[in-house]
């Protein structure tokens, strides 16, 4: 069995189904968090008959997700993103019913939909009456699931809540924790190098994040923009909020849902983005992840430009304000920590170093966005974090993981400042 140290910094999506063993899942949450993991929970309707969402929310220190059709849940954290934001999915207790649904692809509530949409390893801890456990249907479902890579922590033998005796009691939380650690180790979930999660460490700090592209109008129907999806900036905003910071996200046009617990200001142009950022000052932390258009058309046409005898129009471009450089400039409202991004297609570190000095930001996150990397619009990112002369090069990581690591570094920076103001 892998060491439970492996859980440190990992994110568990815990699906709790409706069985009497649900009470043990409360202890599971507590233990997982003691080992440094964070837990986000989804409850089935039946689970709420056994334990209350309030107990789960208190133990996870997070919102509890229950309703597939809740507009709030969908806008804050769509069912697809529930597993994208996790390293592992744990189904405990796994009732005969939810195992049957997962085996056959049924998804009629948030829990089963999140399980079916999961792109992360799944571990299930079954709990049921011993006759239900031995039933050929349940056993066939378990075979189907294990063949598809679902890891099962078998139930144990003993007296059951129904008064009968046999196999069907959910494994003890400590054993489930051990199995989660083993699953993470076996599936090669990246080690967090002992980086603790930033849970709550940024409480009381005010953060501003820019994200997405900007759109610079040519006329009422045309614009200049770029391929930025906003994924990295949105993930950073979510990670800062998860760390307890009060976050304003100023975002250019993206298709992404608003990250949980952030105030989102949507803008179109670079000038709007700068104005929106300035109204949020003073801030402790600024992360400029937006791909701001460098130029705009000097005077955009008020009516659609027509094809005509004069040939194609000549657009006269002027430079946009540099939001990062403006926010990082010395002054009374200068945030304590300003982090910029340097998206480069060649000599990445060299350009990033020069950019950090030129824009006077404290840190810069350099990434290679040459088309072969698939970074722009993709879910993975390979970055180098430049802090003064120090360069930390991270392996290719999911953008959520890049965000989590960056926010852990921000939390360390503020913790160090509290101890040593110099």
Residues forming contacts to ligand C5P in the complex (CB under 6 A) are 210, 270, 288-290, 292, 294, 320, 322-324, 340-342, 355
Nearer to ligand C5P, 64 or 292 (CB): 292
Nearer to ligand C5P, 50 or 376 (CB): 376
Catalytic residue among 107, 162, 277, 361: 162
* Cα distance between residue 37 and residue 34, in whole Å: 7
* Cα distance between residue 187 and residue 57, in whole Å: 28
What torsion do the CA atoms of 63, 65, 70, 75 make, to the nearest 10 degrees?
60
Nearer to ligand C5P, 154 or 321 (CB): 321
* Cα distance between residue 118 and residue 13, in whole Å: 10
* Cα distance between residue 183 and residue 172, in whole Å: 17
Nearer to ligand C5P, 86 or 277 (CB): 277
CB of 216 to ligand C5P, least distance (A): 11
Nearer to ligand C5P, 123 or 290 (CB): 290
Cα distance between the two ends of the chain: 44
CB of 129 to ligand C5P, least distance (A): 57
DSSP state of 188: T
**Active-site residue, 162 included:** yes
* Cα distance between residue 411 and residue 197, in whole Å: 9
CB of 322 to ligand C5P, least distance (A): 4
* Cα distance between residue 57 and residue 61, in whole Å: 5
CB of 374 to ligand C5P, least distance (A): 19
Nearer to ligand C5P, 244 or 335 (CB): 335
Under 8 Å between Cβ of 133 and 155: yes
Under 8 Å between Cβ of 302 and 220: yes
Secondary structure of 403-415 in HEC code, one letter for each residue: HHHHHHHHHHHHH
Under 8 Å between Cβ of 93 and 17: yes
> What are the φ/ψ torsions at residue 196 (nearest 5 degrees)?
-75, 155
CB of 348 to ligand C5P, least distance (A): 11
CB of 370 to ligand C5P, least distance (A): 14
Nearer to ligand C5P, 21 or 290 (CB): 290
**What is the sign, positive or negative, of the torsion defined by CA atoms of 417, 418, 421, 422?**
negative
Give the residue at shortest CB distance from ligand C5P: 323
67, with CB counted inside 10 A (0-12, 13-18, 19+), is middle
CB of 75 to ligand C5P, least distance (A): 25
149, with CB counted inside 10 A (0-12, 13-18, 19+), is exposed
Q: Which residues contact 315 (CB under 8 A, 6 or more apart)?
A: 218, 297
Q: What residues act catalytically?
A: 162
């Amino acid at each position: 069995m892998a060491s439970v140290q492996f859980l440190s910094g990992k994110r568990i999506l815990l699906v709790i189904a409706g069985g009497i063993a649900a009470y043990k899942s409360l202890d599971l949450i507590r233990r997982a968090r003691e080992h440094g993991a964070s837990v986000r929970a989804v409850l089935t309707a039946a689970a709420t008959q056994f334990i209350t969402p309030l107990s789960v929310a208190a133990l996870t220190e997070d919102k509890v997700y229950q309703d597939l059709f809740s507009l709030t849940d969908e806008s804050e954290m769509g069912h697809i993103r529930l597993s994208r934001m996790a390293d592992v999915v744990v189904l405990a207790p796994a009732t005969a019913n939810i195992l049957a649904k997962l085996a056959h692809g049924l998804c009629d509530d948030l829990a089963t939909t999140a399980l079916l949409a999961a792109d992360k390893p799944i571990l299930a801890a079954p709990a049921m009456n011993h006759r239900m456990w031995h039933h050929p249907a349940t056993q066939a479902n378990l075979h189907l699931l294990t063949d598809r890579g679902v890891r099962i922590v078998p139930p144990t033998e003993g007296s059951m809540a129904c008064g009968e005796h046999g196999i069907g009691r959910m494994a003890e939380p400590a054993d489930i924790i051990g199995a989660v650690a083993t699953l993470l180790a076996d599936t090669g979930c990246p080690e967090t190098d002992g980086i603790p999660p930033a849970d709550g460490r940024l409480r009381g700090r005010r953060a501003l994040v820019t994200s997405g592209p900007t759109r610079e109008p040519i006329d009422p129907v045309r614009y200049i923009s770029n391929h930025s999806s906003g994924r990295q900036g949105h993930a950073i905003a979510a990670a800062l909020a998860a760390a307890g910071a009060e976050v304003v996200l100023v975002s250019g046009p993206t298709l992404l849902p608003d990250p949980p617990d952030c105030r989102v200001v949507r803008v179109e142009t670079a000038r709007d983005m700068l104005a929106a950022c300035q109204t949020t000052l003073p801030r402790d932390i600024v992360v400029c992840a937006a791909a701001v258009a460098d130029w705009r058309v000097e005077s955009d046409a008020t009516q659609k430009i027509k094809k005509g005898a004069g040939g194609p129009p000549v657009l006269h471009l002027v430079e946009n304000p540099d939001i990062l450089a403006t926010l990082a400039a010395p002054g009374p409202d200068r945030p304590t920590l300003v982090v910029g991004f340097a998206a480069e297609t060649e000599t990445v570190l060299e350009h990033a170093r020069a950019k950090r000095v030129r824009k006077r930001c404290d840190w810069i996150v350099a990434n290679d966005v040459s088309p072969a990397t698939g970074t722009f619009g993709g879910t993975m990112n390979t970055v180098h974090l430049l802090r003064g002369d120090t360069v930390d090069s991270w392996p290719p990581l999911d953008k959520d993981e890049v965000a989590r690591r960056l926010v852990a570094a921000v939390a360390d920076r503020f913790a160090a400042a509290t101890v040593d103001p110099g």
